[in-house]
Amino acid sequence: NAGVMQNPRHLVRRRGQEARLRCSPMKGHSHVYWYRQLPEEGLKFMVYLQKENIIDESGMPKERFSAEFPKEGPSILRIQQVVRGDSAAYFCASSLSDRGGNTIYFGEGSWLTVV
């Protein structure tokens, strides 16, 4: 039973380019979350999605960042016009339900480096 799959694992972008990070949740999971881990920091919640819906984007920067979870295919986190401060590890997670206490499974992360 495959876990949460993220790709690419490592991505290098020049300032001003776009970064696209993909996430396939665990089989049977319809709740997807994105978290960002800055150096020497814990993970910070960005966005929670269900199929075709953004449920909570309270942790997402207002500009340049967007996320989607289409009916078919993986969830995508898109960062436009990247800046050095976007360099971080981006973790996708999924769960069977969004009830509190439900186990949230994390992917192995996508490490974005902006040069």
Residues that bind other proteins (CB under 8 A): 4, 6, 31, 33, 35, 40-45, 48, 56, 91, 95, 98-109, 111
Shortest distance, position 104 Cβ to other proteins, whole Å: 7
- Residues with Cβ within 8 Å of 107's Cβ and at least 6 positions away in sequence, in order, are 3, 4, 5, 6, 23, 91, 92, 93
Our CB check for other proteins shows the closer of 14 and 53 to be 53
Give the number of other CB atoms < 10 A from CB of residue 49.
Answer: 25
Give the strand pairing for 110-114 and 10-13: parallel
Residue closer to other proteins (CB basis): 28 or 100 = 100
In the complex, least distance from residue 109 CB atom to other proteins, rounded to whole angstroms? 5
Question: In the bound complex, what is the minimum distance in angstroms from residue 63's beta carbon to other proteins?
Answer: 22
SS3 48: strand
Using the minimum distance from each CB to other proteins, give the nearer residue, 35 or 65.
35
Beta bridge partners of 71: none
Minimum distance of other proteins from residue 15's CB (angstroms): 24
Give the distance from CA 21 to its chain's centroid.
Answer: 7
